[in-house]
Structure 1
Amino acid sequence: MPDPSDRTADVVIIGAGQAGLAVAYHLGRRGLALGEDVLVLDRGPGPGGAWQHRWESLTLGGTHHLHDLPGMAETGLSFASAPGDVPARALVPSYYGTYEERHGIEVLRPVTVTNVSRTVDGYSVSAAPGSAVERVHARVVVSATGTWTSPRVPFVPGREHFQGRQLTTADFSSAAELAGLRVAVVGGGTSALTFLDEVGDVADEVLWFTRRPPTFHDEEIELSPERGRVAVAIQDDAARAGRPLPSIVSVTGLPRSPLVRRLEAAGRLERMPMFAQMTADGVVTREGATIPVDAVIWATGFRPEIAHLRPLGVVGEDGGIVVEDGRVPAEPGLFLAGYGPQASTLSSNRAARVTAKAITDLLVR
């Protein structure tokens, strides 16, 4: 009798966010049987990818533009016409769940993949105890794990001695939890600005620290076509060289959006240089001045979640991985979806079609 904890497929997709679902959709369109030839694994309890874990007050009206998945029009839904005042962590999972059902994308949940290793004829994908499946054997692996589970927190001397609260973007749930506190927000991206806005309404004091002075541009949208092309090119260069991926905001700057104008009017965009160290009850500036704070929000971005690929030897010492057009040259059967230049929802959609063709060509060979 076969072991029920083991599954076999031609393709296993790790992650059911935008990138993973888009690849699954195109593989289905190319004739592979979803749920049999293609298995999709996801660590979340339900549809929605990382969106189901975001904070309550975040809406589609207050975040980056979210592009529709390929074939979403067939479901009768579109993010372009979605209500902008509904919590994104409720709306996006609802739309993704409808999408999975309409297109027959069976997702095994919850499955926390711990490592991917080579076998004689492909790969073995192993999961943590308690997962919906313990192991999957496949000829091709698509890693579409995103970044949400791997927040980036910079090294700061004394951080381990700080007695107040420390939150990453992924930890943040509600500004109300920080009411009446002195809060330091660290980071130069859109999430940091959102925290300055929301927390600033309830905190006793909110201070903004960044490593470099933020750059604002006069476009209201996050990425114009030109800025988008520059950002994709820089991300692609880093991926092809196997370097750690740079942050998008360091390339594009910040738009003078309604949020930025609101913060300017409230006097909350007075940025301070990154502090030099932390103490039990505050931070110390580069000039040696001590500033008492009760909580620190590390809105300092995320790293790609690729730890499960380390057994393959493709992850460099600095955490980078060589990826060319979504493929890992050192591993012909390994693809990364939503990585580097594919990180935006638009670019991941476009890349998914190319990835699906490359996978089906590989399976035929």
Structure 2
Amino acid sequence: MPSIIYQFSYAMNEDWKRRFGSQAEIRAYLDDVARRFGILDHVRFGTAVEGVAYDDDSGRWTVTLADGSSERFDVVACANGQLSRPKVPDVPGRETFAGAQFHSARWDHDVDLAGKRVAVVGSGASAVQIVPAIVDAAAHVTVIQRSANWIVNKYDWAPSRLEQVLLTRIPPLMQLYHLAMWWWFEARVPLIYRWIDPLRRLWEAHLRRGIRRKVGDPAKAAAVTPDYALGCNRVLLSSQWYPTIARDDVSVVASGVERVTESGLIAGDGTVVDADVLVWSTGFTPTEYLAPMRISGRDGRDLHRQWRDGPEAYLGLATPGFPNLFMVYGPNTGSLTNTIIFLLERQAAYIRQAVEHLRAADVASVEVREDVHRRFNERVQARLRKTVFTTGCPGWYATESGKVTQVWPGSHVAYARATARFRAEDYHQRPAVAAAREPVAG
């Protein structure tokens, strides 16, 4: 997403060096926001949570840390994120590889790629950025993929001096630019629905022609052309991917990895790939929400066991049996057509309202009602059946059983309406106890 909307609406930065900010810029921006709003004073770094358990008698949560210590809280907000735990496939022979290997999310900067044969396993969002960035240094890059991705041009540029001056000195222009860009992306919502398939097929044909023209080599072009509907997996942005694939020092193997050897790997079609470095660009564990934390709710129920058929939550925020437990970026709240930051702000505001209700109504806990939770998720799955996400997509939007648990089946405006007000009537409420309240964990 362009940085103008990939930032908090209440703390906009007018000094992005390019339309799409760099990793260093984004990190500096987040650090600045955290310091400016005093967030760092409430953050404990280097602390892993192993489990949270609800006590039925006190109505409080015990949070157990990796060092064995524990603390108690009235409210827990889980904000682990979806793409935070790297996934390296359990491929036979991986431990026998003689060269360096690492996951793209845990990049080993001590490994010099100059003159090396590099095998990049995966062709998703990370690989699309990595391969063009390393190809000039490496002697040869081989991309090993299971399925290709739909990729459209990334229109990136450095703002002009005039643009910078206007946005800096006239704050309303920044707000207007932000809103205009937000609505531009919001207008893409129809692309997720099946009724737009005739237009989708025309766009797919246009993209296929572009792939053939940019890649040139018919075999390579075929390898990087998706065989599924546009939009049912994440549409990636890059203007460098296809020109990079077209290079003579880049190969594509479209059959996945069968096993790793001491000198490289063997693909599913038997192709032998010699490599000095293996980069596992194999994504994360997004369907394993809140793992590896152990979460024990009312009456000792286990959240992951309750979610054995796929995670689900009311508004992606709360689930029955777990009082005062909320989630950020929870089940079915993934953003594809617009910025996730907007949804995160809506979720944070909803959780704030819930906490305010606890105090104002002198309530010890709120737990979403089973019937409310069930009706909401039935509606979500019914809407998903009308979308492109249920057409047999590859990737990580669905569980192994085929249940789509990742994406929101509608507009961001619709989600904002649904979460605009904390509805106490949707929750069971437990009267406050005499004991002093504990703080909120999140």
TM-score, normalising length: structure 1:
0.64
- Do the aligned partners of residues 284 and 93 (structure 1) sit closer, same or farther apart at CA in structure 2, a change above 3 Å counting? closer
Give distance in 2, aligned partners of 1:265 and 1:361.
Answer: 58
Q: What letter corresponds to residue 194 of structure 1 in structure 2?
A: Q
Give distance in 1, aligned partners of 2:51 and 2:325.
Answer: 13
Q: Please list, as runs of the form range in 1=range in 2, the aligned pairs for 1:1-365 lying within 5 A after superposition.
A: 67-73=6-12, 77-78=13-14, 81-84=15-18, 88=22, 90-105=24-39, 106-110=41-45, 111-119=47-55, 120-129=58-67, 134-147=69-82, 149-174=84-109, 177-217=112-152, 224-225=185-186, 251-255=232-236, 257-264=238-245, 266=247, 268=250, 270-304=252-286, 305-312=290-297, 313-316=302-305, 320-325=310-315, 326-340=317-331, 341-342=333-334, 344-363=340-359, 364=361, 365=363
Tell whether the 8 Å contact from 2:295 to 2:304 is kept in structure 1 after alignment: yes
Report the Cα offset of residue 335 of structure 1. 0.9
Q: What letter corresponds to residue 251 of structure 1 in structure 2?
A: C
Q: What letter corresponds to residue 323 of structure 2 in structure 1?
A: P
Which whole-Å deviations, capped at 9, do the CAs of 1:144-172 have from their partners, x for residues lacking one?
12245410122322223222222112211
Identical positions, percent: 23
Give distance in 2, aligned partners of 1:226 and 1:152.
Answer: 33
What are the ranges of 5 or more consecutive residues in structure 1 without an aligned counterpart?
1-59, 233-248
Count of matched residue pairs: 280
Tell whether the 8 Å contact from 2:97 to 2:263 is kept in structure 1 after alignment: yes
Tell whether the 8 Å contact from 1:337 to 1:348 is kept in structure 2 after alignment: yes
Tell whether the 8 Å contact from 1:185 to 1:296 is kept in structure 2 after alignment: yes
Name whichever of 283-292 and 256-265 sits farther off. 256-265
Report the Cα offset of residue 122 of structure 1. 1.4
- Do the aligned partners of residues 276 and 152 (structure 1) sit closer, same or farther apart at CA in structure 2, a change above 3 Å counting? same
Could you say what secondary structure the match of 1:84 adopts?
Answer: coil
Report the Cα offset of residue 86 of structure 1. 11
| Max Rg structure | 2
Which whole-Å deviations, capped at 9, do the CAs of 1:215-258 have from their partners, x for residues lacking one?
3357869x9546667779xxxxxxxxxxxxxxxx9833434632
CA root-mean-square deviation: 3.7
Give distance in 2, aligned partners of 1:216 and 1:89.
Answer: 21
Q: What letter corresponds to residue 352 of structure 2 in structure 1?
A: A
- Do the aligned partners of residues 309 and 253 (structure 1) sit closer, same or farther apart at CA in structure 2, a change above 3 Å counting? same
- Do the aligned partners of residues 155 and 103 (structure 1) sit closer, same or farther apart at CA in structure 2, a change above 3 Å counting? same
What are the ranges of 5 or more consecutive residues in structure 2 without an aligned counterpart?
157-183, 194-229, 364-442
Give distance in 1, aligned partners of 2:192 and 2:355.
Answer: 27
